[in-house]
Amino acid sequence: MTTAAALAPLERDLATTGNRAWRRFRRHRLALFGIVAIVLMVLASIVGPWLIPFDQLKIDIRHRFAPPPWGGHLFGTDQLGRDLLVRLLMAGRISLAIGFLAMIVSTAFGTLVGITAGYYGGAIRIVLMRFVDAMLCFPSIFLLLILAAFIQPSVTTITLIIAATSWMEVARVVEAQVRSLRERDFILAAEMIGAPGRYVMFRELLPNAIGPIVVAATLTVARAVLMEAYVSFLGYGIQAPMASWGNMLNNAQQYLGSAPWLAIFPGLMITLSVASFNFVGDGLRDALDARFDVK
C-alpha cells in the first residue's frame, strides 16, 4: 500500500509522458511510413500467397526467366520458372518471422543480462558487462557465419544464432538505464520496505526501462532481417526449397546480366523492411527521449 501511494505520482507522470510521446511519434512521418509498410508486408506475406494463382514450388521449365510482368507473373519468374512474387511473399513469412523471433529472444536475453548487471552491480556487473564488451569485439557477421557453419541450419537454429549475436546492445542499454534508475527515490523506497530483489527488478526497474528496450528491440528486428538475408545468401542459412529473401539472392548473382529482376526484387524487399524497422525505431527514440521535452 505504501509503495502504491509512493508510486502514484510517477504513474501519472508516465501517463502524460506517453501522451506526449504518441503525439511526437505521429509527427514523425517516416516512422508512420515504416509502420504502414511493416503492416502491409506482414499482411501480404500471410494472405498474399493464397490470392496469387501460382504455387511457390511449381516448376515451369517452359517459362523460365520470364521478365516482369509476363503472362500474369507480375515480378517475372526465376531460373526454374517459378513465380517470383509468390516466392517473395512466402520468403517474407520466413524472413520476417526470423526477424521478429530473433528480436524476442535477443531482447529477452539482453534485458535479463542488463537488468541483472545493473541491479546487482559490483562483481556481477563487471563480469557480465566485460562479457558483453568481449562479444562486441567480434564482427557479428564472423561469429554468425561460423556458428551457422557449425550447426545444422533450420529456422529455429538460424533464429537462435542471430539472437546469440545481437543481444549485446540491448544488454548495454538496459544496464545503463537500470544503473541510473537504481539510485532514484522510488527504488530506494521499494527496497526500504523490504521488497525482494526480483520484485524490484521486474516490477519497478523493468517498466521504467521499457522505452529504451522498445527502441533497441525495433532496431534489432532490422538487424536480424539483414543478418538472415546475408547468411542465407551465402548458403549457410535457410535452405532450398524453403524461400527466404536472402537465399533467393543466392543464385541471382550468376543471372545478373540476363535476369536482373531476380536480384532486384528480393533486395528491395529486404531494404524496405529493414528501413521500415529503422524508421520506426528512430521515431520511437525521438518520441521516448526525454531530452526532446525541453523545447
205 binds another protein (CB under 8 A): no
N-term to C-term CA, the chain: 37
Give the per-residue contact string, 11-30, with another protein (x = CB under 8 A; - = no): -------------------x
Please choose, out of 16-24, 71-79, 177-185, 265-273, the segment that lies near another protein by the rule CB under 8 A: 265-273
The cell numbers describing 21, all together, are 510521446
H helices present in the chain, as ranges: 2-27, 29-51, 84-120, 122-137, 140-150, 155-164, 168-182, 185-192, 197-199, 206-208, 210-233, 245-250, 261-288
Residue from 46, 150, 196, 292 in contact with another protein (CB under 8 A): 150
61 binds another protein (CB under 8 A): no
Contact 84/64 with Cβ under 8 angstroms?
A: no
Fill in the DSSP letter of residue 253. G
Which CB, 70 or 138, lies closer to another protein?
138
Per the DSSP assignment, residues forming a β-bridge with 83 are 77
Please choose, out of 39-47, 174-182, 191-199, 264-272, the segment that lies near another protein by the rule CB under 8 A: 264-272
Contact 3/195 with Cβ under 8 angstroms?
A: yes
Residue from 3, 17, 79, 140 in contact with another protein (CB under 8 A): 140
Contact residues for another protein (CB under 8 A)? 30, 130-131, 133-143, 145-147, 149-151, 222, 226, 229-230, 233-234, 236, 249, 252-253, 256-257, 260, 263-264, 266-267, 270-271, 274-275, 278-279, 282, 295
